[in-house]
A and B are shown apart, each in its own frame.
Chain A
Amino acid sequence: MVPRGLLAIATSFVVAFLLTALPLPQWAEPWRPAWVTLVLIYWCLAVPHRVGVLVGWTLGLLLDAMTGTLLGQHALSLSLVAFLSLRLHLRVRVLPVWQQGLTVFLLVVLDRALSLWVTGIQGMPTQALSIWAPAVTSTLLWPWLFVVLRDVRRRYQVS
């Protein structure tokens, strides 16, 4: 028996993966929001007993396989993001959406910082500023994503 709403959660992650792989024009590529991170943060805040560190870790591993990065790079950053979201979920849930956005900004910055760190250890140079662009777009997108996913959660009664 599949727990209620699990399908909704899985579908939202599948969509996040699709959006991550969607080809963008060259100029827009650095600005691609961190879709998987955003959706993970949302579910961690909304249903912390369902989605947590292990889910983040597994998603990260899949993301690594899909984007061709070092296996474990996204697993590391996403499990940390999930952990912090779980830790903060009671505090963040009651904030207005724009203040949640600030938290999301910090979490995505952490996500990117870990990636930068890992690629740095591998000896791959990265253009310094564009790596932070996803944090900006993710923050701007958060209110909309929040509303959409909240509707999904209510519609399919994910609990």
Chain B
Amino acid sequence: MRLVACVLAAVALMTVDHRFHHLEDLRTTLSLGVLPLQLLVHAPFRAAHWASEELMTRTSLIEENERLREDRLLIEARLGRLADLEAENRRLRELLDSASRVGERVLIAEVMAVDMDPFSRKILLNKGSRDGAFLGQPVIDASGVMGQVVHVSPFSCTALLITDPNHALPVQFTRNGLRAIAIGRGGSNSLELAHLPTNADARVGDIIVTSGLGGRFPSGYPVGRVSQVRTDTGRPFAEVTVDPAANLERNREVLLVWAAGQGPSDLAASPPAPAPDGR
């Protein structure tokens, strides 16, 4: 009797969770309950990281400092050029009368060393709604798009990686502006472009960026590089495989992105671009 009740309750929960997304509150409460466990699992890794930083020798610190300074010089030089280009871009867009979206804000979040369900691609981040994270927020790293936030609780959030089979991302080729949808492949750490006709102009090595269509992701963030194109005349669509640009499997820190005009006011990192104007 009790079994029947439990099974029915479980099936009802699954149906509601899958279809209607009304259970966010329940999930938040439950995940707050298991957060201490996850923190406990994460603690040794955090301690190891802390120890490796604390126990560095002076010479290696100086070396690292030197290297970082050189890197910074290079990056600043490049950034200067970028600011110039951005200004030019905005001017041209104004001439064309189209809205430009600059000035995204970011916040660094730490990936917690906690394993989730092995059949989906999810990561747990140590920032939650208290830090301003919201549902559907893009998550990126230094080299590209990682995924989006699918669940927020006050102190942590869960992000779905772009390689999850449930994740689809509107993208664009930088070479020719061809638009497509990149869908995760699950196990193999790659994506595939859906519904590209066999005569589409896709080549191995093409760079793929977000197109900004769909409104979730800001446009222009790198997604990956085409690693394989198979055109089989017997099939209606070309089979295009993309290797993600972001280091999905081995990141410690990621960036949460707020589009222009939204986001928390007290931010750790702010963009070099001027403040967003009005819109």
Q: Which residues of A come within 8 Å of B, CB atoms?
A: 14, 17-18, 20-24, 26, 29-30, 32, 52-54, 56-57, 60-62, 64-73, 75-76, 79-80, 83, 115, 118-119, 122, 124-127, 131
Is the beta-carbon distance between B116 and A68 smaller than 8 angstroms? yes
Asked if B38 lies at the interface with its beta carbon under 8 angstroms from chain A, I say yes
Closest-by-CB residue of A relative to B45 is: A23
28 contacts between A and B (CB under 8 A): A18-B41, A20-B115, A21-B38, A22-B115, A23-B114, A29-B118, A32-B118, A52-B2, A53-B6, A54-B6, A61-B13, A62-B34, A66-B31, A67-B116, A68-B124, A68-B150, A69-B117, A71-B13, A71-B17, A72-B10, A72-B11, A75-B6, A75-B9, A75-B13, A76-B6, A79-B6, A122-B166, A124-B120
Nearest Cβ distance between residue A59 and chain B, in whole angstroms? 11
Contact of A124 among B14, B23, B166 (CB under 8 A): B166
Query: Which of B10, B33, B150 interacts with A57 by CB under 8 Å?
Result: B10
- Are the CB atoms of A18 and B151 closer together than 8 Å? no
Residues of A within 8 A of B116 (CB): 66-68
Give chain B nearest CB distance to A35 CB in angstroms: 12
Residues of A within 8 A of B56 (CB): none
Contact A127 to B120, CB < 8 A, known contacts A53-B6, A66-B34? no
Please give, as numbers and ranges, the residues of chain A lying within 8 Å of B232 by CB-CB distance. none
What separation, in Å, do the CA atoms of A124 and B30 have in the docked complex? 24
Hey, which chain A residues are within 8 Å of B30, CB to CB? 61-62, 64-65, 71
B interface residues (Cβ-Cβ under 8 A, vs A): 2-3, 6-7, 9-14, 17-18, 23, 26-27, 30-31, 33-34, 37-38, 40-41, 45, 113-120, 122, 124, 150-151, 158, 165-166, 186-187, 249
B13 touching A53, Cβ below 8 Å: no
Lowest 10 A-B CB distances belong to which pairs? A65-B30, A72-B13, A76-B10, A72-B14, A79-B6, A67-B117, A72-B10, A75-B10, A66-B34, A71-B17
B118 touches A30 (CB 8 A): yes
Chain A residues within 8 Å of B120, by CB: 68-69, 124
Whether B18 contacts A122 by the Cβ 8 Å rule is yes
Closest A residue to B37 by beta carbon equals A17
Contacts of B6 in A (CB 8 A): 53-54, 56-57, 75-76, 79
**Chain A residues, CB < 8 A from B151:** 68
Q: Which residues of B contact A72 (CB under 8 A)?
A: 9-14, 17
Asked if A131 and B10 sit within 8 Å, CB to CB, the answer is no
Is there contact, CB below 8 Å, between B27 and A65? yes
Contact B23 A76 (CB under 8 A): no
CB-contact partner of B7 in A30, A65, A80, under 8 A: A80
- Bound state CA distance, A56 and B10, in angstroms? 11
Pick the contact of B37: A26, A54, A66 (CB < 8 A): A66
Q: Which residues on the B side are within 8 Å of A68 (C-beta)?
A: 116-117, 120, 122, 124, 150-151, 158
> By the criterion CB–CB under 8 Å, are A24 and B115 in contact?
yes
Closest to A17 in B: B37
Bound CA–CA A118/B151 (angstroms)? 20
CA distance A9 to B204 in the complex (A): 56
- A124 CB contacts on chain B under 8 angstroms: 119-120, 165-166, 186
Q: How far is B3's CA from A57's CA once the two chains are assembled, in angstroms? A: 9
**Complex interface: chain A residues within 8 A of B45 (CB):** 23
Residues from chain B with Cβ under 8 Å of A75 in the complex? 6, 9-10, 13
| B34–A65 CB distance below 8 A | yes
State A56–B23 Cα separation when bound (angstroms).
20
Docked-complex contact B7 and A76, CB < 8 angstroms: yes
Complex interface: chain A residues within 8 A of B114 (CB): 21, 23
Q: Is the CB of B118 within 8 A of A71?
A: no
Q: Which of B30, B118, B151, B165 has the most CB of A within 10 A?
A: B118
